[in-house]
Amino acid sequence: MTKLELPEVVASTPIEEVDAAVATVLVPYAERGLVQLVGDASDLSDQEPLYAAAAAVIGTGLVMRDVRTVRAGTRMLAAHLLATALRGVVKQLVVRTRPDAAARRGEYQFAPGERRESDFSSFPSGHTAGAVAVARALGRHYPGSHHGWLGLAGAASIVQVLRSKHYVTDVAAGAAIALVAEIAIDRLIRRAERV
């Protein structure tokens, strides 16, 4: 197996320098067994598994005739849909080479623009946007487990950096998008409940 190495990144900001420094350290480990194993587990925070989780919560609430659980699942779904939409808009505006792709291709790009290939859609992290939005939404209905859900979302987000699929700022941007989306959904729901 060839050892992956990040090409030289000409950073335009100190934050991008930090991103490059972290990725340079982690890229050689991206194809190691343990990193791949935790990476596979973190894929539970991808779009389809999160949609399935929200549907399962709604379904469980319907079967149990538990309005709180149905509302929690509905809020999870709405927050995830909005976070995914916002993440998609940003991804269409920014081209950023994923760390592992930059190592394989020997080139790095971070600029305004549009490229549809996954290798150039590092910014922002969709896994993070979805996981954090869903965790926050679920925590609103089950506050006792809020920190646990956010911990799982945070772990899934950190793994994206460890597995060299994202830079630290990609994950931070994904989390910011999640918070905006979930707060917007919360406000919308609160307004609807007042009517």
How far is C-alpha 76 from the geometric centre of its chain's CA atoms? 14
Contacts of 118 (CB under 8 A, 6+ apart): 98, 101
Q: Which residues are registered as beta bridge partners of 111?
A: 95
Alpha carbons 34 and 102: distance in angstroms, whole number: 21
Q: What is the mean pLDDT of residues 43-48?
A: 86
Say what the pLDDT of residue 3 is. 66
Place of tokens 């487990």: 145
- The answer to whether residue 102 scores a pLDDT higher than 50 is yes
Q: Does residue 1 have a pLDDT over 50? A: no
